[in-house]
Amino acid sequence: MNYPVIFLILGMAVVTYIPRALPAVLIDRIKPSPKVGKFLRLIPYTAMAALIFPSVLYVDTERPEIGIIGGTAAGILAWLNCPVIICVIAAIAVDMVLYLVF
């Protein structure tokens, strides 16, 4: 058995686990200011938008309006505080209907 490889894998696991575990352990002890708290609460939404928006434009490079309409449907439902799964299913359904009709 190749022991240096096992130690390397265990070391990488520890080094990866520490930055993930520290915020969970220390979150109760740190009280950010209201501005910082609001900023931290908005990060997931910003990251999701940055990841999803480019994909909306490339659903079909021949007809980008299909992705834009599906993204708009999901955005409207999200604005109305629908659950995420409903937004995703609605966007898929709108895109499927547009593909079948046009």
* R_g of the chain computed on alpha carbons: 21
The residue extents of the domains of the chain are 1-30, 33-101
Contact 102, 80 (CB under 8 A): no
pLDDT of residue 1: 65
Alpha carbon distances (Å) from 27 to 33, 47, 98: 13, 21, 46
Span of 5-9, 48-52, 74-78, 85-89 with lowest mean pLDDT: 48-52
* pLDDT tens profile 28-71: 788 889 999 899 889 988 888 898 889 888 888 899 999 999 99
